[in-house]
Structure 1
Amino acid sequence: MDQSMILSQVVGGSLDAIAREMSATVTRTARSPLFNEAHDFTTGIFDLSGRKSRLVAQAPGCTLHLYAVVGAVDHLIETFRYDLHPGDILLVNDPYHGGSHSLDWTMVMPVFYNRKPILLPAVRSHMGDNGGPVAGGYNPKSKDIWHDGLRIPPLKIYEKGEKRQDVFDMIVANNRLSHWLEGDLDAMIGACKLASRRIQQMLDQYGSEPMIGAIDERIQYTERRVRDEIASWPDGTYSAETYADHDFQGNRDIKIKATVTVAGSDLKIDFTGSSPQVDGFINSPLSNTTSFAFVGISTCCDEDIPINEGYMNPVTVTAPSGTVVNPELPAPCGHATACVGAEIAEAVLLAISKCAPKRVGVNAHKLPLAYTNGVDKEGNQWVNLNFFGYTGGAGAAYQTDGWGLYPPVMTGVTLPSIEMNEIQYPSRVLLHEYVEDFTGAGKWRGTPGLVVQIQHLEDSSTSVMMAGVRNTTKGFAGGHDAPSNKVIVNYGTKDAQIVEETAFGVKMPAEGIIQFYRAGGGGWGNPLERDPELVLEDVKNEFVSLEAAEKEYGVVIQDGEIDQRKTKKIREQI
């Protein structure tokens, strides 16, 4: 291994470690449970050696932030390119300035060397609230981007090392969770400052040119690995489409079409043919669309490939303006990171499955989103995103059943501790368990679905936004689609309501219960090819019933044993 390769590994590993240290800093110092428990944020480092920024390192975080943060950083740098100074910290959340939805805020701090900005630590975080008409920021009645909440264009929250207190106070004042937000912003700022010090030490040790050279080599390595993967797929053009159930305002079956063209080691993704932008708040800004496309691609590549700009270089994404995947101002975008983001990743993977079926897995996260808000005994507002109700949905892939409690697009998000959740919110998790026959069958099956009951101990209000009811998560290569999600508010009372599409501000008395039926993931491959022993194991674990074992898999089980003769006969008949 030559010296440049060694330096590339040392610099790349050090930047990865700094990104992870940033992540740990946010987790340990933030006030919001979204940060310190659910880990709904991502930290990364960019360089500014050219006209545009480049992603050079990223800590494990919320996977759907994978590329969306790139657009936000580019817009920040474009705004302040000739007005950057040591000690500046920049902030943006506007979906039309490189954002995804306005609940995701991006903070960046340039690190200087020889009076030039060289590297940029960044934090992208999902905030608990962002002002606007409804607590929590998810507004199914949103008609335009201003109904989604506070738009923060590119601005400086620190300038030349001095906190812009007026800007800071204005942002905090426009947030229902100000008692959390101030601490969360300080955690993000602290992570950027810590990374700045670490990076400055590296620049002093190695110098800027050797460091940029090492970064170049690491990006080229990632690009070679990704190109090798793409080149292994047969050349051609492959199309697929999928649908979101609705836009929460009466428009149904919103189409996402992806056309994937493989030409050697180049990959083009074209979303032409997708539905025009819609009235509801599911429109996906270009950075969000691009991010979900790359999330899909990254799941098709080996997991040991470093995440950096090299992932993006072989890929070109086209999304026509004025469509649901690249809307024009002032279309609302508040729910885009779930719907239609899930469908964007799904359409890309469905298209790739036609040329590389063994590389795809069900990556969608068609969440039945239900958030609850109220006021605690101290008079502070609280917003609970009810994370436990979203667990499940991970699909199968070649040679593996679905695994984990979150689908891959959410893998950086951790399931909060139930005990901590019950301390931080006036709530109780009464039930959280797998459901029999509630996933997509296949040669490899999806993760089993779950039933979850969440009880809020104080008067509260819940809004529900359903997805994956009619257009459920797809299976691949002959695997079955996932079943439908279902949510019941005021469960177990005369006021119980099964939510078909949306419910807005449903009043729930103290000790009211929400019950989630979160479907499992889609399957991969023909269920009749599943190893009968695996079916028997699923029956014993109560993931699959005896009836489904015979109907879906053609496996007959009697007295806890496989009836080999009947199984062979029924499989031949089917």
Structure 2
Amino acid sequence: MKHVETVIDPVTLSVIQNGLQQVCNEMDLAFVRTAFSPVIAEGLDRSDGIYARGTGDLIAQGELGLPVFVGTMQFSTRAVIERARSIDEGDIFILNDPYMGGTHLMDVKFVEPFFYKGELFAWLANTGHWPDTGGMVPGGFSAHATEVEQEGLRLPPVKLFKKGVLDEEILSIILSNIRVAQQRIGDIKAQAAALAIGKARLTALLDRYGREVVDSAIKQLRTRAAQQMRAKIETIPDGVYTATTIVDSDGVVDAPLEINLAITKSINGLSFDLGGSSKPCRGPMNSVIATTKSSIYLAMKHLFPEVPINAGTFDPLDIAVPEGTFLDARYPSPVSGCAAEVSQRIAEAVFMALAPALPERAFGAPAGTSGNLAIGGFDPETGRNYVMYVVTGGGYGGSAGHDGISNGCSTIGIAKTPPLEILEQRFPVLFEEFALAEGTAGGGTHRGGFGVRYKVKLRRGEARASFVMDHGRVGPPGVFGGESGLPNSIEIVQNGVSTTPPHLSKDQDVALKPGDYLLVRTPGGGGYGPASARSAGLVAQDLARGYGCGAKRED
């Protein structure tokens, strides 16, 4: 008998759409409130979602989750579906393999089948950034890695929970291969608890409306999202739009990497060609295809934020696999910088390419770096090893109507710097400065936002610092005559001697002793329109606040 799809009135459809969203939001909140690591509990570096039972396609994702995970968790859920030999209620798969729909090894996914009245209805999944998964350096951001094994423990899809029971043997293997292992059980239980909340809330939604109605609503919501994205794409004139963005270096070879993007708008929609980009690199700035595609997804969502998020949002986007480039990483290429840094250069290329076609929606390039910094060592006061992982914000680009936001979170997500008081309580460091970096913004009719400047000093013991950042070679570009923001800068002071990293924004195993410190300045956003057209009132306001006008150095 042929299935007839249930016709759902607009009000009910909207209620179910918001109900699915709320399920994910509550998973996000449960994860944050129960996580142990500051990067999750305070920095919000995590995400939760609902995925289709047969394909892993996105149904809904929490509003409080990182946008870059929108696409990647589709691919990782699909990897579980393809490789799972059997599934039972209560099973939870763990994986972080970047080549199976992942990002970097620190982003650990939990994927659980969701059963309703004994039948598989969907998959629930979440991602949390673990502060360490082993590897060459504390924190996993190995700037000099030349193969993925040097970056940490790589997990294919395996059942960490079997019918609701934690597998102690698999857990012991994981904990035996990572630093600060005693702290990870808190994050593991938090991820599992978030999925449990999701099951309870999704069950309640199905109890209220019934499986058939919710199933039909999911299909209709996907169709409508695709229609809305196609309607937005129709506002772009037919043609080919190009842009080139630069990654500072791969951390091993001191030469820039190019992302060359060509976007073709035609009657069929938008097609994206990255095939002219640089070849695979030796260092950790290779990007797996899941991250490459997700970077384009999130860029389009930035340009058209009113389009709802589900798999249909991406149906009109045709992304060719850029084989033979560093944007289609294959084993054993190192990839620790792909999600946090390369993804933002890809998104920047989309923004810059489509700016002429969408002048009212365009903006100068944002800071475009997560500012990944990890400091790990032994604290003699507590008698314990530690790993501190920090992300920092930067300036957003100016737009047609406004100056850019200062100290905004990275392009790829809502993760933010954890409160400094929390970091100073948990780790033997002192932030002697954390302030806006005045003068870093790109000048323009509407200037970019300012980056931040911070100084972090080691208080006791010995430690190693590693960092993978970007936009240190060139600053975020402006649009329509706007100026570029100032680039990232890092100063290392050891025993009173100041040095700059050879690769500008990337280094590892920087030895720190008490009193040594790092001084970091994050990029400002690019400007929109010529600075000569900026109103006298706005210039006076900037000067009165000590901001300066344009991208002037702080010397």
Decide which of 327, 331, 334 is 2:333's aligned counterpart.
331
Q: Does structure 1 retain, via aligned residues, the 8 Å contact 2:144–2:507?
A: no
Q: Does structure 1 retain, via aligned residues, the 8 Å contact 2:138–2:374?
A: no
In structure 1, the residue matched to 2:205 is 202
Distance 1:531 1:480, change over 3 A: same
Query: Amino acid of the residue matched to residue 332 of structure 1?
Result: P
Query: Are 1:128 and 2:139 an aligned pair?
Result: no
Residue deviations 1:251-281, cap 9 Å, x none? 4121111111112461111111011111001
Q: Which moved more, 1:447-456 or 1:405-414?
A: 405-414
Query: Amino acid of the residue matched to residue 513 of structure 2?
Result: P
Decide which of 506, 511, 516 is 2:515's aligned counterpart.
511
Q: Does structure 2 retain, via aligned residues, the 8 Å contact 1:394–1:447?
A: yes
In structure 2, the residue matched to 1:76 is 80
Decide which of 344, 347, 356 is 2:346's aligned counterpart.
344
Decide which of 38, 42, 67 is 2:43's aligned counterpart.
38
What count of residue pairs does the alignment treat as equivalent? Answer: 542
Deviation of 1:141 after TM superposition, in Å, equals 2.0
Query: Amino acid of the residue matched to residue 513 of structure 1?
Result: Y
* Ranges of 4+ aligned residues in structure 1 off by more than 4 Å: none
Deviation of 1:3 after TM superposition, in Å, equals 4.8
Deviation of 1:211 after TM superposition, in Å, equals 0.5
Deviation of 1:237 after TM superposition, in Å, equals 1.4
Query: Amino acid of the residue matched to residue 324 of structure 1?
Result: F
Name structure 1 gaps, 5 residues minimum. 553-574
In structure 2, the residue matched to 1:10 is 15
Which SS does the other structure have where 2:340 is aligned? coil
Q: Which moved more, 1:366-375 or 1:15-24?
A: 366-375
Distance 1:40 1:466, change over 3 A: closer
Distance 1:499 1:408, change over 3 A: closer
CA distance in 2, matches of 1:396, 1:204: 47
Deviation of 1:29 after TM superposition, in Å, equals 0.8
In structure 2, the residue matched to 1:375 is 378
Name structure 2 gaps, 5 residues minimum. 1-6
Deviation of 1:88 after TM superposition, in Å, equals 1.1
Deviation of 1:214 after TM superposition, in Å, equals 1.1
Which SS does the other structure have where 1:99 is aligned? coil
Deviation of 1:45 after TM superposition, in Å, equals 1.4
Deviation of 1:207 after TM superposition, in Å, equals 2.2
CA distance in 2, matches of 1:53, 1:63: 15
In structure 1, the residue matched to 2:163 is 160
Deviation of 1:177 after TM superposition, in Å, equals 2.0
CA distance in 1, matches of 2:292, 2:137: 25
Distance 1:36 1:368, change over 3 A: closer
Query: Amino acid of the residue matched to residue 542 of structure 2?
Result: D
CA distance in 2, matches of 1:460, 1:516: 18
In structure 1, the residue matched to 2:28 is 23
Q: Does structure 2 retain, via aligned residues, the 8 Å contact 1:129–1:136?
A: yes
RMSD: 2.1
1:209-220 equivalences in 2 (<5 Å):
209-220=212-223
In structure 1, the residue matched to 2:395 is 393
Decide which of 513, 518, 525 is 2:529's aligned counterpart.
525
Q: Does structure 2 retain, via aligned residues, the 8 Å contact 1:357–1:476?
A: no
Distance 1:355 1:200, change over 3 A: same
Residue deviations 1:490-549, cap 9 Å, x none? 27x53222224143312222132211122211111121222221111111111115xx69
Distance 1:34 1:52, change over 3 A: closer
In structure 1, the residue matched to 2:173 is 170
Compute the TM-score of the two structures, normalised by the length of structure 1.
0.90
Query: Amino acid of the residue matched to residue 457 of structure 2?
Result: Q
In structure 1, the residue matched to 2:540 is 536
CA distance in 1, matches of 2:55, 2:439: 53
Compute the TM-score of the two structures, normalised by the length of structure 2.
0.93
CA distance in 1, matches of 2:331, 2:100: 11
In structure 1, the residue matched to 2:261 is 258
1:216-231 equivalences in 2 (<5 Å):
216-231=219-234
Residue deviations 1:75-130, cap 9 Å, x none? 111112x5222111111100111111111111111111354321222111111001
Distance 1:267 1:515, change over 3 A: same
CA distance in 2, matches of 1:485, 1:408: 14
CA distance in 2, matches of 1:420, 1:251: 36
In structure 2, the residue matched to 1:281 is 284
